[in-house]
Chains A and B, each alone.
Chain A
Amino acid sequence: MSLRGKRILIAKPGLDGHDVGAKVIAMALRDAGAEVIYTGLRKAPEMIARVAVEEDMDAVGLSILTGSHKELAAETIRCLGELGADDVPVFVGGTIPAQDLPELKRAGVRDVFTAAMSIDDVVAAIDRAIGAQETGR
């Protein structure tokens, strides 16, 4: 498994201060060869989308543990679309009840990760997603 050459933005939208999951995944993706930018806390969805476009990111990971995942993910995807970047896959990690998955998927979220998953499984899922997109071009 390698994410070498891939650029991934790990972002904390909204006011959530719990950044451990974001940092752990950022470290793991970097270990897997990706170039990772971590935004730090309290970033607006439009700012996250702008960075993703300006920095030519291959994927965006949003970390949300406050229960506001539906609003914040949809808003980030909308902002990416406005910048013509709706092909950048968006992943969401955090405290996400399974019943919210259909709505997140409909909003365009590629995959959802929770604390129950292993780091390797998260990295593998991102690897598969970005890889599939490459071959499809």
Chain B
Amino acid sequence: MTDATGRTKARETETDPERVSTTTPSGIEVPEVVTAVMTGRPDLEDPGQYPFTRGIFANGYRGRLWTFRQYSGFGSGEETNERYRFLLERGQTGLSVALDLPTQCGYDPDDPIARAEVGKVGVSLSNLAEMEILFDGIDLGGISTSFTINGTAAIIYAMYLATADKKGVARDKLTGTIQNDILKEYVARGTWIFPVRPSMRLIADTVLYSNDETPRFNPISIAGAHVRDAGVTATDEIAYTLANGLAYVDELTRRGGDVNRFAQRLSFFFYVHMDFFEEVCKFRAARRIWAKLLKERYGVTDEKALMFRFGVVCGGSSLTAAQPYNNIVRVGIENMAAVLGGAQSIFTCAYDEAFQIPTETSAEIALRTQQIVAHESGIARTVDPLGGSYYVEWLTDRMEEQIMRVIGEIEAMGGAVRAIEEGRIQLMTAKAAHRRKRAQDRGETVVVGVNAFRNPGEDQDFGEVFRLDPALSRRVIEKLQAVKDRRDGKAVSKSLEKLEKAAARDSENLLPYLIECCHAYVTVGEMVVTLKKQWGEFEEPIRL
């Protein structure tokens, strides 16, 4: 039962190599053949036409390929800057900043709770000086930058604007995205800080400010990726995400936002896992549902505001630590599904990403995968090449029905905000994770190298392992101390005082105050402590 290292060994289940599953992971029973009659869609609208089943652009990827956006970041500004230059030299077309957990949760690196995590899963960005190092030599007006940041999204966005200000880049030139989707953090990703209601306010502040100041920037990326990776099905991934999307639309409308305007800047983010046609069809269904919801419920008239734009990540929990090179194949298949589903930006995970920060070699293979799909496979040549396939149209319809049913269930709970405050979506996600794991354990879902097709005596580990410099945490703290020593103490306390007062007034947009703090080299932790004084902290509802 145990291997040489004393760890209990994984067990191989019995897999029938002849068996093909007849049900999709979302539980849709698939007929042996889908015939023309069964599709019932002889007159599907063209790409670029409402409700955009076949894509939001009439010319697909001919106008512009998707953005190759590899999520990366580790250590501090210097290390990550070096990795960005490495990726850009090799043809990456957008940046995607991974931040470490202290930055995401609002703790400075010198906070005792942060020590073990500084620079581990992303770059440590505690203040403007660190971000200036991060983007040193990179033209912020010439490249789009995405930040996977939520609890502290408003602060990191403010810091990005302050960085652009200091570099002399006009704000209206900035393109990119902040994830800024707190609702799914309460469910799956866990980097919440404040209670739900003030968090929703902060998001609305960011979106409304961005619409005016950085009109080409996406101030929110409503994400299903994390609940998906946590264990829910493709249809639930879309349903939970669109339900959250509706909650943001409601909040922004309540705050006086014009849905025809702000909806143009709402973007989405999903995982692509391995069930190829489900993955393609979920995006076709999601585009159609979102356009219909905005038009029918909110009376949106501007076509651009009805367009469902999304980025994806390929890999995640579909990757395995066992037989890790298999992950290259998985990501290749997922990458194709993302393109056939019409993604605007794609991140392909590295084959070792299931267990570590990718090495330069594995990061390069992940990027090359996208380049091979884009430039060798020919699938981007014409828009929605799968459109009109009997199976694809049939499955898109079935998934649409299932997604709408789940959105209805969430609305019956009082909407996404209430369902999350009560811990109901969290419980549904945990149960789904339990079901998925049990199905894998029983061999009902085959995972090659894990529960099937294992080699005798196979080692679950691999060669080259990326290691962070163990002295990193100390170095980051020293850099932070140096910034604190040389900044203007009066400007720090004055800007924090103004922030605190503004936070107490619900009607005030906090962004100008956060930007002022960033310019004064106030740290993320200092801003968060100030806001916590006003708003308190989220208390996790624990239901199992």
Interface residues of A (CB under 8 A from B): 14-20, 23-24, 26-28, 30, 36, 38, 40-42, 44, 66-68, 71-72, 75, 95, 97-99, 101-102, 105, 111-122, 125
Residues of chain A lying within 8 A (CB to CB) of residue B8: 111, 113, 117, 121-122, 125
Cross-chain contact of A17 among B189, B354, B438 (Cβ < 8 A) = B189
Q: Are B190 and A14 in contact (CB under 8 A)?
A: no
B430 interfacial by beta-carbon distance below 8 Å = yes
List the interface of chain B (C-beta within 8 A of A).
1, 5-11, 13, 101-102, 104-105, 107, 112-117, 120-121, 185, 188-191, 230-231, 317, 320-322, 354-357, 429-431, 433-434, 437-438, 440-441, 450-451, 459-461, 465, 468, 540, 542, 544
Residues of B within 8 A of A121 (CB): 1, 8-11
Most buried by B among A26, A27, A101, A115: A115
With known contacts A66-B101, A98-B7, A102-B5, A14–B430 Cβ distance under 8 A: no
* Contact call B120/A66, Cβ cutoff below 8 A: yes
Supposing A38-B542, A116-B322 touch, asked if A14 and B355 sit within 8 A by C-beta, the answer is no
Q: Are B117 and A68 in contact (CB under 8 A)?
A: yes
Output the nearest chain B residue to A116 by Cβ-Cβ distance. Answer: B10
Cross-chain contact B5 with A26 (CB below 8 angstroms): no
Q: Which of B114, B430, B438, B468 contacts A20 (CB 8 A)?
A: B430
Question: How far apart are B231's CB and chain A's nearest CB, in angstroms?
Answer: 6
Q: Is the CB of A44 within 8 A of B113?
A: yes
A residues within 8 A CB of B101? 14-17, 66
- Please name the 7 residue pairs, one residue from A and one from B, whose CB atoms are nearest each other, closest first: A17-B190, A15-B101, A118-B441, A71-B116, A23-B430, A68-B116, A98-B461
B437: shortest Cβ distance to chain A, in Å?
A: 5
Which residues on A sit within 8 Å (CB–CB) of B191?
15, 17
Q: Which residues of B contact A111 (CB under 8 A)?
A: 6-8
Give CA–CA (A102, B429) in the complex, Å. Answer: 34
Smallest CB gap from B105: residue in A: A15
Contact A95 B355 (CB under 8 A): yes
Q: A15-B191, A17-B189, A24-B437 are in contact. List 12 more A-B contacts (CB 8 A).
A: A15-B105, A15-B107, A16-B117, A17-B188, A17-B190, A20-B188, A24-B231, A68-B116, A72-B116, A117-B11, A118-B10, A121-B8
Closest B residue by C-beta to A115: B321
CB pair A15–B114 under 8 Å, yes or no, is yes
26 contacts between A and B (CB under 8 A): A15-B113, A17-B101, A17-B188, A17-B189, A19-B430, A20-B188, A20-B430, A23-B430, A24-B433, A24-B434, A27-B430, A28-B434, A36-B544, A38-B544, A41-B540, A42-B190, A67-B120, A71-B116, A99-B465, A111-B7, A112-B7, A117-B8, A119-B441, A120-B441, A121-B11, A125-B1
Q: How far is the CA of A15 from the CA of B525 in the complex (A)?
A: 14
User: In the bound complex, how far is the Cα of B542 from the Cα of A40, in angstroms?
Assistant: 7
**For the complex, what is the distance from the CA of A71 to the CA of B459, rounded to whole Å?**
25
A23 to B190, CA, bound (A): 13
Assembly CA distance A26 to B544 (angstroms): 8
Q: Once the chains bind, are A68 and B120 in contact (CB under 8 Å)?
A: yes
Inter-chain CA distance A28–B434, complex, in Å, is 8
Residues of B contacting A42 in the complex (Cβ-Cβ under 8 angstroms): 105, 113, 190
Instruction: Kindly list chain A residues whose C-beta atoms are within 8 Å of the C-beta of B7.
Output: 98, 101, 111-114
Collect the chain B residues with CB atoms within 8 Å of residue A26's CB.
Answer: 544
Q: How far does the alpha carbon of A14 sit from the alpha carbon of B112 in the complex, in Å?
A: 10
- Which chain B residue shows the least CB distance to A45? B116
**Residues of chain B with a CB closer than 8 A to A117's CB:** 8-11
A67-B356, A114-B460, A116-B460 known; A27-B544 Cβ under 8 A: yes
Report the Cα distance A125→B6, complex, angstroms.
12
Pairwise interchain contact A23-B433, C-beta atoms closer than 8 A: yes
Q: How far is the CA of A20 from the CA of B540 in the complex (A)?
A: 14
Question: CA of A28 to CA of B13 in the docked complex: distance in angstroms?
Answer: 19
> With A and B bound together, what is the CA distance between A14 and B433 in angstroms?
22
Chain B neighbourhood of A125, CB < 8 A: 1, 8
Say whether B190 contacts A27, CB under 8 Å.
no
Measured CB to CB, the closest approach of chain B to A87, in angstroms, equals 20
Min Cβ gap B86→A in Å is: 21
How far, in Å, is B202 (CB) from chain A's closest CB? Answer: 18
How far, in Å, is A123 (CB) from chain B's closest CB?
Answer: 11
* Distance (whole angstroms) from the CB of A70 to the closest CB of chain B: 9
Instruction: Name the distance in Å between B127's Cβ and chain A's nearest Cβ.
Output: 19
Residues of A contacting B465 in the complex (Cβ-Cβ under 8 angstroms): 97, 99
Question: Chain A residues near B6 (CB, 8 Å)?
Answer: 101, 105, 111
Q: CB-CB < 8 A to A71: which residues of B? A: 115-116
B212 to chain A: closest CB distance in Å?
Answer: 32
**Contact A95 B354, beta carbon cutoff 8 Å:** yes
List, in ascending order, chain B residues with CB within 8 A of A40's CB.
540, 542
Contact across chains for A98 and B459 when beta carbons are under 8 A apart: yes
A98-B5, A120-B441 known; A30 vs B544 contact (CB < 8 Å): yes
Question: What residues of chain B lie closer than 8 Å to A98, measured between beta carbons?
Answer: 5, 7, 459-461
Contact A15 B434 (CB under 8 A): no
A20→B320 contact, CB < 8 A: no
Quote the shortest CB–CB distance from B475 to chain A (angstroms).
17
Partner of B321, one of A36, A66, A105, A116: A116
Question: What chain A residues lie within 8 Å of B433 (beta carbons)?
Answer: 20, 23-24
Q: What's the minimum C-beta distance from A44 to chain B, rounded to whole angstroms?
A: 6
Task: Tell me if B459 and A20 are in contact (CB < 8 A).
Answer: no
Measured between beta carbons, the chain A residues less than 8 angstroms from B429 are: 20
Q: In whole angstroms, what is the CA distance A59 to B113 when docked?
A: 23
Least CB separation from A72: chain B residue: B116
Q: A17-B191, A66-B121 are in contact. Are A23 and B105 (CB under 8 A)?
A: no
Please report the C-alpha to C-alpha distance between residue A33 and residue B461 in the assembled complex, in whole angstroms.
Answer: 33
